[in-house]
Structure 1
Amino acid sequence: MARPSKPLLSRERIVETACALVDAQGLEGLSTRRLAAELGVSGPSLYNHFRTKDEILEAVADAVSAQVDLSMFDEGDGRDWQTALHDCAISYRAALKAHPHIIPVFARGPGRRPAALRVADAIFGAMVRAGWPPAQATHIGALMRYFITGSALASFAQGFVDDAAAYDPADYPHLGQAHLLAERGQRVDEGAFETGLRAIIDGLAVQYAAVAHG
């Protein structure tokens, strides 16, 4: 029997192609018609695997969640909860930075997305094992998601222009160097993320001491 001229359609192939479209053109660039054309199939073929465009976007978001390294939460890994939380946050942000256009879908929460739920489960489980009460472990998981997704959603540095005249010292006496931020965007944003992450974890460590001796 002759082999098919094109790879058979699968959920994995649909998600991979949809992710590439979203990465290149944003959420508005994804339509079932455009996706079908990229895959070389008819539109109705997609509905054998996904009922709606929203389901496809949920699957793309979940595929990005699957890129988050969770090995630091393995019981035999050996990292303490602070280091594990830090290392997971770095991996989580890297996954989102690689696919920034899908971040608004993350704002809906993990829902029924398996990989996203595994991230939430791993963080919650590790915090409870470390001695955090379940309610506070839930708050920590939520806090990390707020901070990481927010930091990946936009660049602070790229919010400034490279025109020194835009920051008249008469109006902004402390922004004399603000026009230099744009060209240093990645370094500024990564430094800000690390500073914020450290502040969060150090603050949690203070709370943890109170929990441990409470």
Structure 2
Amino acid sequence: MARPRTPLLSRELIVATALRLIDAEGLDALSTRRLATELSVSGPSLYNHVATKDELLDAVVDSVMGEVDLSMFTAGAPWPRALRDWARSYRAALAAHPNIVPVLAQGPGRRPNALRLADAVFGCLVEAGWPRGQATRIGALMRYFVTGSALASFAAGFPEDAGLYDAADYPHLGEAHRLAEHRGAIDEGAFETGLEALLDGLLLRYERTVDGAAPRPHQGWRATKAGRSDGSTGS
């Protein structure tokens, strides 16, 4: 029997194709008709695998959440280091698929990978001694920070037109036209600066609020700031 010219339709193929379409053209490009065209199938055949567009979008978002590394939460790392490494992996996944961020920012919903992520972060904080209410708020804070950092580029928002930044009106923006040229370094540097500041603040709060008799799994954190696992210095 001759091999079919197109791959057999599956939920995995549908989700991967939908993500590729969103990555290339944005959320508005996703429709049943467009997806069927991309897959060279009839529209109704898609419903054998995904019942609605909302279900498909949930599956696409959850596939992105499946790219986030959670291994640091089971490796026995101090909680600040675990949060730092997770935040970096989380941002990398979102930066690879920025068009999906507005949907993802709504919360985990019924998405298994997103729920595993929330469970891992919350569990790490509670096991470190954080009160459950504060652990919930910190998990939300971290998600706000990471998703916000991946939503858009600060540097790219400044046009590369030196004439736009008249010194009479904007005395401190004389070099702003160069920001877009260095977009990657600026955006990555801003994320790292914010992440370190956020974790330093949480560490101070931890030292004030967590019972001094409780285990202190954060003790290795300050040492790692002088020489991180990724070889950087923390400056």
Do the structures match in fold with TM over 0.5?
yes
State the one-letter code of the partner of 1:138: T
After the TM superposition, list the runs of 4 or more consecutive aligned residues in structure 1 that deviate by more than 3 angstroms. 1-5
State the one-letter code of the partner of 1:121: D
2-side partners of 1:205 and 1:92: how far apart? Answer: 21
Structure 1 SS opposite 2:100: helix
CA deviation string 1:130-182 (max 9, x = no partner): 11111111111101111111110010000001111111111111111111101
**Alignment partner, residue 228 of structure 2:** none
**Alignment partner, residue 121 of structure 1:** 119
Q: 2:134 aligns with which of 133, 136, 153?
A: 136
Between 162-171 and 57-66, report the one with greater CA deviation: 162-171
Q: 1:167 aligns with which of 144, 165, 168?
A: 165
2-side partners of 1:163 and 1:128: how far apart? Answer: 50
Structure 1 unaligned regions, length at least 5: none
Q: 1:157 aligns with which of 147, 155, 158?
A: 155
**Alignment partner, residue 12 of structure 2:** 12
**Alignment partner, residue 49 of structure 2:** 49
- Whichever structure has more helix as a proportion of its residues is 1
2-side partners of 1:5 and 1:178: how far apart? Answer: 52
**Alignment partner, residue 201 of structure 2:** 203
Q: What is the TM-score of this pair, normalised by structure 1?
A: 0.96
C-alpha root-mean-square deviation of aligned residues, in Å?
A: 1.2
State the one-letter code of the partner of 1:45: S
2-side partners of 1:82 and 1:108: how far apart? Answer: 25
- C-alpha deviation, 1:57, in angstroms: 1.0
2-side partners of 1:137 and 1:82: how far apart? Answer: 13
Structure 2 unaligned regions, length at least 5: 213-235
2-side partners of 1:212 and 1:191: how far apart? Answer: 31
- Relative contact order, CA 8 A, sep 6+: which one is greater? 2
State the one-letter code of the partner of 1:194: E
Between 183-192 and 101-110, report the one with greater CA deviation: 101-110
Whether 2:93 is the aligned partner of 1:95: answer: yes
- C-alpha deviation, 1:3, in angstroms: 4.6
Q: What is the TM-score of this pair, normalised by structure 2?
A: 0.87
**Alignment partner, residue 79 of structure 1:** 77
Give % identity: 67
- C-alpha deviation, 1:12, in angstroms: 0.5
Q: How many residue pairs are counted as aligned between the two chains? A: 212
